[in-house]
Structures are given as structure tokens and as C-alpha cells.
């Protein structure tokens, strides 16, 4: 990856140029997107203005033979939070862009006219053309049209109607191995920024390219083998995720009393077992779908699946835990088929499942629907959000806007972004990450990715009740580094538990890049990413007051544990004091 594709949408005739990496040499994924935003986007710019930029960056090892290295980072100033954003997606495009040599695609400016463009990238060059026939197409129909036009060896990055309507919860879809728009850079409204640039779809054809070669073939090959073996032998990455997907967490989090039910009113949901990973895997298998499936080539964990309807026809990919929770227990819905339909609609409209589920939960709290009304939730999404009615636009702009419009106090957001599926009162260490992450409430910002083995924060006794802030900081640093490599976060357990697998991962990176990075270098990379992000947010007007949970988490007692959020503001302010 030795070049950057810059698309300038300003003026009557948008244009493009290909540049060398310059200052961005050696960066990938989140490190790349956050560096570009920090350096090139005015912090006080409007997220939908010409000044904002949309950066699409494959991870450092994407396009190589490194297993599970196909994660794509999408960054911009977020219309949802007003701060910096990196949203991460699986699917095929990361590998394809990387093989074409692009370390980033940067889309800037804003078109003068109300035209919709498609961008075609192949080894033979770039085509940027107006195609207004694509207006308001759902992602599924859009991809079918792209297949007709370009064949089935392509990958696509696209927006649905939500992105075109510039809804703050709009996502960017990436196609999977079956060329379905099922993988999404979901969070923060990145789809709205793509919509503001007037680009509907980026079609990538990597025909005629070859796999990216490592600098040190032998070192890379040996490390890749050891890394893959480490992932396969671990019970989580080699077994649990493959058998049940991420939704295996439903029963566990519910049993722990940390499952936010009915818009964060309760810590347990009576219908949890009906929508659990175990039940879902059973349903998928029974209907001829798949309980085990990868989202991109080279994945050895295979945490996804294929969910068929009652007649055995494809409906959607296996909904993830966060989606099942957001549209399920959070809204009092215990019907897997309804949740799968909501997931399909989210993917087609191009909207974040967490934000949408949270917004509907807030709307239910306001009395717009009753908790548990699955048909009503489907109608809201299909008829209101999908058609861009005034109510649909309120919901499509997320939980915070919905709460304001309907006068609801219990709105589970930080920095304007909805919380994921872990109640902050029951798991307060995760809540510290929700509060302090530069991204807004985000469960993937502080992933358990082996900070112990990296030695971030030193070695500590696991049962010693040390500061939640210290643990959250360690995890956020480790996660920021991993998000830059292109590796999937789900490798976390294997590298957490198996030092030899962590070493294999570092060797893999070194073999590929021909470097001798140490764990310390990886920590420094993570810190530098977070520093860029924090500095950008500060310049955008964020202060320590934005690193807080909503007040009601301190006052409302969560059953069954009868706990409130108790981490002090002073401790929260120490998270980034490294």
C-alpha cells in the first residue's frame, strides 16, 4: 500500500488524484483515519460540510495472507457525536483496496449539484460517474445493480437511503464473501458523511492484482501458521464464536444482571433464552442456514452465519449480539424472526443497528409503541425511517435526538452516541470506557486485547480492586493499536490467554513489514492514535464534562443487583493521564 486516492467532490466536475503516502507512511486502519482527520479536518467544521473528510483505510496487513486481517477503518468528524470517529467493518473491500495498493481513499469537498456518484476502482484506473438511477436504492438492490454492471468478482462500499438522507445513525455497508451488503461501519453516522459527499457506492475490482507480499517471507509464513493455530486451539476463537456467534453472550450477560432491558430499566430480560445464541444457532441450522460463517476471506474464527426465514429463504446474515440486544431485549422483543427482519432492514437502509435499536427503545419509553411490539418496531423502521417521514428522520438521527424530541430523560448515550449492550451500572469498568472513549459510548473501544501480555500498565493481581480507570486506559491503548493492523478484535481472547499467540501476532506484523517492533512499540502506536483523537476532540470543543455518563445512571438503581454507577468524576479524569 503505497498510495492514497484523493477524491475531491467540490465543483461541477469532481476530480481525483493519486498521491504518495508522505507523512502517512507506515500507517493503516484507525491510525491512518485518525491521523488524517487530526491533520486535515478543521475541528470546528460542520460534519456534513465540504471541510469534513471521509477516510477509508485498510488495516496495515490487509490484502496479505495474514489470517483474519481484513478489517476496514472508516473515519471522519462524526455527525452523531461532533467528535472524531473511526467505525470498523469486516467484509471484502479492505483486502481488495489493499491489493490495489491504496492505503487510504480520502473523499473531500462537496458537490455543487444534487447528483449521486459511483466510484469504480480497479488496477486500470479510477472512474467517477454520475448515476442518479441509484437514488434511494436500498443496499441490497444497489449491489444487485452493481453485479449486473460489473460482474460478481467485485467488492462494494455503499450507503442506503439513510446515508442519502444524511441521518446521523447512517452506516456504510461493505459486501461480504457472497457479495451481500451485510458488514457495516456502523457507528457515528459515517454513512451521512458519505451521503454529504454525494457518493452512493464505491465499486472495487481487484482482478489482476496479487496478494501483498511480506518483506520477510519465512518469518511471516511461520508466524502466520503459529497465529492461526493459536486462534484455532483457543475455546473462544476456535470453538465458542464459531458455534454460536457473538450472540452467545445473551444468556451470559443476562444471567449476570448486566443486560439492559426495556431501555436500560432492568438488568435482565425474561425472554433472553428465546433470542440467545444457542437458540439462534439451532434455528439457523434447522432452516438450512449456517451457524458458522466468515465475513471475509482469510477469517479462521467464523463468528457469523446465515439466517433464513421460516420458509428456508435467505433473510439476513446472523445478527450479532449487539443487534439482537438493541432490537431485542432493549425493546422487550423476544421474537428472533422479528429481530432478524429488523437487522435486514437496518442493513438495507444503511443504518447502525445499535443506534436504531436504542432510538426505538427511547421511543417506546416515550409511549410511541409498547415494549415488546415487534410489528410496530418493524413498521417504524420500514415505513418511517425508510421513507424519511418526519418521525423517521427523528429516529434516524439516533437515541439522543429521539429523546429530546419526545422529552425522555432516560436516554442511554455518551457524547450523543448510544450505549451498547452492557449496563454501565453492573459492569462499571466497561462504563469507564463508555464515558471516556473519544468515540462516544463504544464497547469496542476498550477491548480485552491482551494489555496484560503487552505489559500496558504493568502486571497486576486480577482480583485486586484497582482503579477501573487504569484497566480502561490499558484496554483503550491496546485496542487503538490493534484497530490499526487490520486484525479482527475477536483475536483478543487467544492473545490474552496464550503468550505464544501474542508473540506470533507481533512476529506476523514484523515479518510482513520487515520491522522489529516490540510490545512497547505497539503500546506507543496505541497511545499516539488516542492522542490524535483526544486532541481533535478538545479542539472541537470537548471537555472533561463530555466524559461522563448521563446522570440517571448515578441515581436509578438497576435490578437485580441494586447498583448505581459509582466511579467518581475524578477517577474518570485520570483515564488519559498516562
By beta-carbon proximity to another protein, the closer residue of 175 and 353 is 353
Residue 312 binds to another protein (criterion: CB under 8 A)? no
Q: Which of 21, 126, 136, 243 binds another protein (CB under 8 A)?
A: 243
Place of cell 493519486: 18
**CA–CA dist 490, 447 (Å, integer):** 9
Percent helix, strand, coil in the chain (nearest 5)? 45, 15, 40
Is residue 285 within the footprint of another protein (CB under 8 A)?
A: no
Is residue 269 part of the contact set for another protein (CB under 8 A)? no
Q: Which one of 126, 252, 290, 366 is in contact with another protein (CB under 8 A)?
A: 252
**CB 153 → another protein: shortest distance, Å?**
32
Tell which one of 107, 142, 427, 495 touches another protein (CB under 8 A): 427
| DSSP-derived pairing of the beta strands 3-8 and 102-108 | parallel
| Cβ proximity to another protein, 173 vs 258, nearer residue | 258
Instruction: For 260-309, list the strands marked E by DSSP.
Output: 290-293, 304-308
Binding range to another protein, per CB under 8 A, among 40-48, 127-135, 268-276, 305-313:
268-276
Q: Which of 122, 158, 468, 528 binds another protein (CB under 8 A)?
A: 468
Does 251 engage in binding with another protein (CB under 8 A)?
yes
Q: Within 13 Å, how many C-alpha atoms sit on residue 158's CB side?
A: 36
Closer to another protein at the Cβ: 47 or 277? 277
d(CA 192, CA 6): 19
* Among 23, 152, 463, 543, contact with another protein (rule: CB under 8 A): 463
241 binds another protein (CB under 8 A): yes
Q: What string of DSSP letters covers 553-577? A: HHHSPBTTTTB-----HHHHTTTT-
Q: Which of 74, 116, 98, 101 is nearest to 18 (CA)?
A: 101
> Residue 172: beta bridge partners?
185
Q: How far, rounded to the nearest angstrom, does the alpha carbon of residue 394 sit from its chain's CA centroid?
A: 22
What single-letter DSSP state applies at residue 313? -
**Segment contacting another protein by CB under 8 A, of 275-283, 327-335, 390-398, 569-577:** 275-283
Closest distance of CB 200 from another protein, Å? 33
Q: Which is nearer to another protein, 173 or 281 (CB)?
A: 281
Distance CA 417, CA 440 (A): 5
Burial 74-87 (b: 16+ CB within 10 A, else e): bbbbbbbbbbbbbb
Q: Omega of the bond prior to 290 within 30 degrees of 0, cis?
A: no
Burial label for 340, CB within 10 Å (0-12, 13-18, 19+), is: buried
Rounded distance, CA 460 to CA 149, Å?
57
CA gap 463, 334 in Å, rounded:
36
* 307 near another protein, judged by CB under 8 A: no
With CB under 8 A, what is the number of residues at the site for another protein?
Answer: 58
Our finding on whether 258 is near another protein (CB under 8 A) is yes
β-pair partners for 528: none
Q: Indicate whether 452 belongs to the interface with another protein (CB under 8 A).
A: yes
Residues 405-424, mask of contacts with another protein (x by CB under 8 A): -----------------x--
Pair 140, 348: CB distance under 8 Å:
yes
The answer to whether 8 touches 40, Cβ cutoff 8 Å, is: no
Q: Which stretch, 17-25, 131-139, 197-205, 242-250, contacts another protein (CB under 8 A)?
A: 242-250
Q: Which is nearer to another protein, 113 or 555 (CB)?
A: 555
SS3 state of residue 384: helix
Nearer to another protein, 196 or 444 (CB): 444
Least Å from the CB of residue 559 to another protein: 10
- The CB-of-353 to another protein minimum distance in angstroms stands at 16
Per CB under 8 A, the list member of 10, 222, 265, 273 interacting with another protein is 273
Is residue 325 a contact residue for another protein (CB under 8 A)? no
* Residue 513, CA atoms < 13 Å, CB-side half-sphere: 20
Nearer to another protein, 51 or 278 (CB): 278
Task: Tell me which of 239, 337, 375, 500 binds another protein, using CB under 8 A.
Answer: 239
Specify the stretch interacting with another protein by CB under 8 A; choose among 128-136, 346-354, 367-375, 459-467: 459-467
**Residue 519 near another protein by CB under 8 A:** no
Placement of cell 461501519 in the chain: 185
Site membership for another protein, residue 563 (CB under 8 A): yes
Candidate list 122, 402, 492, 498; residue touching another protein; CB under 8 A: 492
Told to check if 92 binds another protein by CB under 8 A, we report no
Determine the Cα–Cα distance for residues 505 and 482; give it in Å rounded to an integer: 10
DSSP three-state, residue 103: strand
Cα distance between residue 212 and residue 97, in whole Å: 11
**Nine-digit cell string for 253:** 450477560
430 binds another protein (CB under 8 A): yes
Closest CB to another protein among residues 117, 321 = 321
Residue among 140 and 552 whose Cβ is closer to another protein: 552
- What is the C-alpha separation between 428 and 566, in angstroms, rounded? 8
Of the listed pieces 165-173, 240-248, 360-368, 393-401, which binds another protein according to CB under 8 A?
240-248
Asked if residue 151 binds another protein (CB under 8 A), the reply is no
Q: In 3D, which of 172, 35, 120, 46 has the Cα closest to residue 480?
A: 35
Q: CB-wise, 13 or 463, nearer to another protein?
A: 463
- Smallest gap from Cβ 244 to another protein, in A, equals 6
Query: Within 13 A of 497's CA, how many CA atoms are on the CB side?
Result: 12
| Interface residues toward another protein, by CB under 8 A | 235-237, 239-241, 243-244, 246, 248-249, 251-253, 255-258, 268, 273, 276-279, 282, 286, 303, 321, 422, 425-430, 433, 443, 446-448, 452, 462-466, 468, 471-472, 475, 490, 492-493, 496, 560-561, 563, 566
Amino acid at each position: 500500500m503505497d498510495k492514497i486516492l484523493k477524491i475531491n467532490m467540490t465543483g461541477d466536475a469532481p476530480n481525483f488524484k493519486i498521491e504518495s503516502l508522505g507523512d502517512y507512511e507506515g500507517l493503516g486502519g484507525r491510525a491512518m483515519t485518525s491521523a488524517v482527520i487530526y491533520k486535515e479536518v478543521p475541528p470546528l467544521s460542520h460534519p456534513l460540510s465540504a471541510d469534513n473528510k471521509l477516510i477509508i483505510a485498510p488495516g496495515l496487513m490487509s490484502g496479505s495472507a495474514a489470517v483474519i486481517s481484513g478489517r476496514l477503518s472508516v473515519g471522519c468528524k462524526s455527525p452523531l457525536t461532533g467528535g472524531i470517529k473511526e467505525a470498523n467493518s469486516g467484509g471484502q473491500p479492505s483486502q481488495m483496496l489493499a491489493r490495489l495498493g491504496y492505503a487510504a481513499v480520502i473523499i473531500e469537498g462537496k458537490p455543487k449539484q444534487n447528483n449521486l456518484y459511483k466510484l469504480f476502482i480497479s488496477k486500470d484506473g479510477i472512474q467517477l460517474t454520475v448515476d442518479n438511477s441509484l437514488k434511494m436504492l436500498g443496499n441490497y438492490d444497489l449491489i444487485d445493480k452493481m453485479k449486473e454492471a460489473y460482474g460478481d468478482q467485485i467488492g462494494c462500499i455503499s450507503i442506503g437511503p439513510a446515508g442519502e438522507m444524511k441521518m446521523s445513525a447512517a452506516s456504510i455497508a461493505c459486501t461480504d464473501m457472497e457479495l451481500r451488503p451485510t458488514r457495516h461501519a456502523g457507528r457515528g453516522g459515517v454513512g451521512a458523511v458519505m451521503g454529504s459527499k454525494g457518493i452512493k457506492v464505491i465499486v472495487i475490482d481487484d482482478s489482476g492484482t496479487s496478494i501483498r507480499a511480506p518483506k520477510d517471507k519465512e518469518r511471516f509464513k511461520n508466524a502466520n501458521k503459529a497465529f492461526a493455530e493459536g486462534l484455532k486451539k483457543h475455546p473462544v476463537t476456535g470453538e465458542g464464536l464459531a458455534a454460536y456467534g457473538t450472540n452467545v453472550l445473551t444468556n451470559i450477560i443476562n444471567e449476570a444482571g448486566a443486560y439492559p432491558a426495556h431501555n436500560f430499566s432492568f438488568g435482565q430480560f425474561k425472554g433472553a433464552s428465546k433470542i440467545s445464541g444457542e437458540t439462534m444457532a439451532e434455528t439457523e441450522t434447522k432452516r438450512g442456514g449456517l451457524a458458522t460463517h466468515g465475513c471475509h476471506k482469510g477469517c479462521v474464527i467464523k463468528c457469523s452465519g446465515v439466517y433464513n426465514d421460516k420458509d428456508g429463504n435467505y433473510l439476513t446474515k446472523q445478527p450479532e449480539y449487539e443487534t439482537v440486544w438493541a432490537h431485542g431485549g432493549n425493546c422487550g422483543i423476544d421474537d428472533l424472526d422479528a429481530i432478524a427482519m429488523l437487522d435486514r432492514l437496518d442493513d438495507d437502509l444503511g443504518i447502525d443497528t445499535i443506534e436504531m435499536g436504542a432510538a426505538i427503545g427511547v421511543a417506546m419509553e416515550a409511549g410511541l409503541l409498547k415494549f415488546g411490539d415487534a410489528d410496530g418496531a418493524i413498521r417504524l423502521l420500514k415505513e418511517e425511517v425508510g421513507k424519511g417521514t418526519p418521525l423517521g428522520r427523528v429516529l434516524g438521527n439516533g437515541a439522543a435526538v429521539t429523546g429530546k424530541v419526545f422529552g425522555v430523560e432516560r436516554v442511554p448515550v455518551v457524547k450523543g452516541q448510544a450505549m451498547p449492550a452492557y449496563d454501565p451500572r453492573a459492569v462499571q469498568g466497561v462504563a469507564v470506557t463508555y464515558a471516556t472513549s473519544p468515540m462516544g459510548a463504544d464497547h469496542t473501544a476498550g477491548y480485552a486485547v491482551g494489555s496484560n501480555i503487552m505489559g500496558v500498565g504493568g502486571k497486576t493481581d486480577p482480583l485486586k480492586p484497582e482503579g477501573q480507570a487504569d484497566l480502561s486506559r490499558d484496554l483503550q491503548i491496546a485496542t487503538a493499536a490493534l484497530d490499526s493492523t487490520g486484525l479482527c478484535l475477536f483475536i483478543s481472547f487467544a492473545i490474552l490467554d496464550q503468550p505464544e499467540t501474542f508473540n506470533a501476532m507481533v512476529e506476523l506484523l514484523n515479518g510482513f513489514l520487515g520491522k522489529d517492533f516490540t510490545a512497547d512499540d505497539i503500546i506507543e502506536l496505541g497511545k499516539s492514535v488516542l492522542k490524535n483523537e483526544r486532541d481533535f476532540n478538545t479542539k472541537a470543543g470537548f471537555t472533561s464534562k463530555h466524559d461522563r455518563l448521563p446522570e440517571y445512571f448515578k441515581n436509578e438503581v438497576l435490578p437485580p443487583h441494586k447498583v448505581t454507577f459509582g466511579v467518581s468524576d475524578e477517577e474518570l479524569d485520570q483515564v488519559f493521564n498516562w
